[in-house]
Amino acid sequence: MSDEQHDEDGNTDYLDLRGAPAIAGHLRSYVETLQEKVLIGANQQEVMQFALAVGIAAEKRLEKIKWKKGPDGEGASPGTQFATYTGSKGIAYFLDSLGEIGDKSVVANVEEYLNGGLTYLKSIKFEEQSPDSWDAFFGEFPHLDPEEDGPDSDGGEAAESTEDAPDYASMKVAKLKELLKAAGKSVTGKKDELITRLQE
């Protein structure tokens, strides 16, 4: 951090966390879609934090000048206060350490990443939880792919299967999520959690 970024007493608590990141009008209904189809039971703030994490990690920003009105003609709609986000101060310091804050406020940067994350998720049709959408997601975030780590992915011992039960351990995560979605169950979690949910 440069000296200009410290206050006159040398504190680094100079980042203003006030304000509510807005959701672009054309993405507002997508937040609700994610709540209904993927992040079931999550509130708006949790969906927004997920989209923000995706936007930051994938370096996806949607500048405010590119925001569009929603189908109902509505412009941007405010979300919840950024200061109430879990880890908001850490997020602000992280963005500042990357040199991202610049002339814009913390919240202006956050909303660009948040809307960038929503745009990316919408572009891969993340709400469908299809094999294609998971392939695209794990292509961007291979370190999150449950098939890329753990004993089952490198020839380790997998759970034994019986002739009566499907061999879930040998299935790809996308297939497990497809089965869970068809059964009306939550599709979030690691591979072993998905298998357990299918076996319930």
Cβ neighbour number for residue 27 with a 10 Å cutoff: 25
Q: Which domains does the chain have, with CATH numbers?
A: 3-124 (1.10.1220), 131-199 (no CATH)
> What average pLDDT does this structure show over 45-54?
92
**pLDDT tens digits, 84-95:** 888 888 998 888
Cβ neighbour number for residue 80 with a 10 Å cutoff: 15
Residue type, 140: E
Mark out the alpha helices in 38-172 (DSSP H runs).
44-57, 88-97, 106-123, 131-140
pLDDT over threshold 60, residue 197: yes
**pLDDT tens digits, 153-167:** 444 444 444 456 788
